[in-house]
Amino acid sequence: MSIEHDLAQGWDADTIRGLGYAVVDLIADYLAALPGQPVFRAVPEEQIASYFSRPVPEEGEDLSAIIEQVRENVLCYPFGNGHPRFWGWVNSPPTLAGILGDAVAAAMNPSCAGGNHAAIHLERQVLGWLKQLVGFPQDAGGLLVGGGSLASLTGLAVARHVHSGCDVRQDGLHAAPRPLAVYVSSETHSAVRKSIELMGLGSRSLRLVPVDDRLRIRADALRHAILEDRARGIQPMAVVATAGTASTGAVDPLSSIADICAEQRVWLHVDGAYGAPAVLSGQYRDELRPLERADSVALDPHKWLGVPVEAGAILVRNESDMRATFRLVPPYLQASGSEDPVHGPPWFSEIGFQQTRGFRALKVWMSLKHFGLRGYARMIERQLELAGLLAEEIRRSTSLQIVGTPSLSIVCFRYLPQESAADRAVLDSFNRVLLRRIQTGGQVFLSGTLVKEEFALRACIVNHRSTPDDVRFAVRHVQEEGQKLASETGLNACV
């Protein structure tokens, strides 16, 4: 379809069908072929120079030609997370329901600031379902946001509003009667520090509470830190507990932390961006149930629920706190909560930062409807089993070693060449090189992390396409690559 055609005739159904079917073919071919493709291929320099560095076109091109270019130049260099052996960072393959939902959402293209249209009601319903998942009351506040980082920023902004001791919106933080402190651990996601910095609290207001040997916040140390701050005239503002850290999957002791927060009247924000959906599993149900006691919870449908990015959620126990933090309605924007059929229910833009907001809810709604809570529970339990199998295979291997304690669906481990076993620095650099080889080799994709300062290969299985064979293949592959690297570097391989 040429630009003249588009401008002159707008949309006609036959044109849309023709091009749309071509795109559906593209998607179908891409997804079906993925398991047989390299997990990851770096975009070659010459491709970046020749194709991805062009100036903005002066003249428009035919859409069908552009679709072909997407096939030839874009789809062949994916991030990798659609592949069954992609276990890097916390990235899942997309659900089919979510893929299709995103296409429809783009076609409708509403602004979800507010109003009385289907997208608003779907988002309210989806948020209600997520509240149910974490045990929040249905009248709690909530918003779909871009991801876990924005969810934590939003939750902590509400905490600051409630606990700063001043009118922070009008007078700013310098009017706070006492300096504020936020309690985290060495394992808390970097988004929390970014949020604290962005909100003007300064990273010095962060207290790194000591962790136990499984990298979970020590409740006794948390209480001690809060009391010590109070005695020094510092106002404890919030505790950030994590339900599944990004590094090792550690789950902080939510119940003890909730007790301390209630007793000390401190805001409890739980970063459940990755781990919160595991509350559906038999294995983690009890450990994660205290999510229901938090003041705010971050939970990312775009992680373990497999909804295509971006889909994060922030839930806040008292919606009025969100409203007090964000509401600002100039005359050119609609008043909320009106009976007028155009205005609809209270506007989302009044309980968060964004004004124009995308129709994120459709892909979440379609995915939740398609799998149901039972389907997701089975999916998550299967992935927990795969992580268990991975840990078991590693323990059985003489050349691999578990690093730290596996938790949720994350397993950290390393290759052990014999001679280097006692030398930490050699072991770390060996495994860093090994990771780079594995990532660029295209067979398996892992990421890396530091566990108690030791470098480890890290697998996070939030991938509904992975199978036990993929796990066994990956273990063999890491062993073989480790062996090869050991012999190249003159280190004896443990076999």
Ligand X SMILES: Cc1ncc(COP(=O)(O)O)c(C=O)c1O
Q: Which parts of this chain interact with ligand X (CB under 6 A)?
A: 89-90, 147-149, 189, 191, 242, 244-246, 271, 273-274, 300, 312
Distance CA 232, CA 18 (A): 69
Would you state the structure tokens that stand for residue 197, as one six-digit string? 């910095």
Looking at the Cβ atoms of 269 and 464, the one nearer to ligand X is 269
Would you state the structure tokens that stand for residue 273, as one six-digit string? 């961006």
Could you tell me the smallest distance in angstroms from the CB atom of residue 309 to ligand X?
Answer: 7
Looking at the Cβ atoms of 84 and 312, the one nearer to ligand X is 312
| 3-state helix vs strand vs coil in the chain, percent to 5 | 50, 15, 40
Tokens 């992609």 -> residue: 86
Looking at the Cβ atoms of 147 and 482, the one nearer to ligand X is 147
Q: Which residues lie across from 411 on neighbouring strands?
A: 459
Look at strands 454-460 and 235-242 and give their pairing.
Answer: unpaired
Could you tell me the smallest distance in angstroms from the CB atom of residue 149 to ligand X?
Answer: 3
How many other C-beta atoms can be found within 10 angstroms of the C-beta atom of residue 138?
Answer: 9
Looking at the Cβ atoms of 185 and 245, the one nearer to ligand X is 245
Backbone angles phi, psi at 13, to 5 degrees: -60, -35
Looking at the Cβ atoms of 300 and 350, the one nearer to ligand X is 300
Looking at the Cβ atoms of 300 and 428, the one nearer to ligand X is 300
How far CA 321 is from CA of 155, 266, 283, in Å, comes to 10, 14, 33
DSSP label of 2? -
DSSP E strand boundaries for 19-160: 141-145
Distance CA 378, CA 463 (A): 13
Could you tell me the smallest distance in angstroms from the CB atom of residue 252 to ligand X?
Answer: 11
Q: Is 48 helix (H, G, I), strand (E, B) or coil?
A: helix
Cis ω for the linkage preceding 310 (within 30 of 0): yes
Could you tell me the smallest distance in angstroms from the CB atom of residue 89 to ligand X?
Answer: 6
Could you tell me the smallest distance in angstroms from the CB atom of residue 434 to ligand X?
Answer: 23
Looking at the Cβ atoms of 152 and 164, the one nearer to ligand X is 152
Q: Is 414 helix (H, G, I), strand (E, B) or coil?
A: strand
Could you tell me the smallest distance in angstroms from the CB atom of residue 234 to ligand X?
Answer: 26
Gyration radius from the chain CA atoms: 25
Looking at the Cβ atoms of 101 and 244, the one nearer to ligand X is 244
Could you tell me the smallest distance in angstroms from the CB atom of residue 192 to ligand X?
Answer: 8
Backbone angles phi, psi at 36, to 5 degrees: -90, 0
Q: Which residues lie across from 50 on neighbouring strands?
A: none
Could you tell me the smallest distance in angstroms from the CB atom of residue 243 to ligand X?
Answer: 8
